Amino acid sequence: MRVISKEQQEEAGRYAMKGFAIGAAQWGCVGLFATTLASAFFPGFRKTPVQNKFYICMAFALGGGAHLSDRYMVQFERRGRAAMLDETTRQRYNLIYGDRDEQERAKAALKSEATA
């Protein structure tokens, strides 16, 4: 989907940031759980400084956030494409099966899209 207006750009950005926040929270918890398990069962990992353990959790969170942000952005684009396809299909249906006024509006809309 082509992002055209500033509002659409902002909406896409907000949706992607929502995905990032959700992914960072999910995978941050996974990282925290993994470091806790590793500390409990591996004596070598127990000796690792707290800063390095935090870095491992942070890496999990950033990676998960980036991954889910990308997935949300793809979903946003697909929804936009589906909406554009539905609108075009509706206009063509009105052109073929609609009454005279609907046919004229659909023809005008299709001509304006073709020139854009």
pLDDT band at 3 (very low <50, low <70, confident <90, very high): low
Give yes or no for a contact between 74 and 89, defined as CB atoms under 8 angstroms apart: no
pTM comes to 0.68
pLDDT digits (tens, 9 = 90+) for 72-113: 999 988 888 888 888 888 878 777 776 777 777 878 888 887
What is the structure's pLDDT at 31?
A: 96
pLDDT digits (tens, 9 = 90+) for 25-70: 999 999 999 999 999 999 999 999 999 999 999 999 999 999 999 9
Task: Determine the Cα–Cα distance for residues 29 and 39; give it in Å rounded to an integer.
Answer: 15
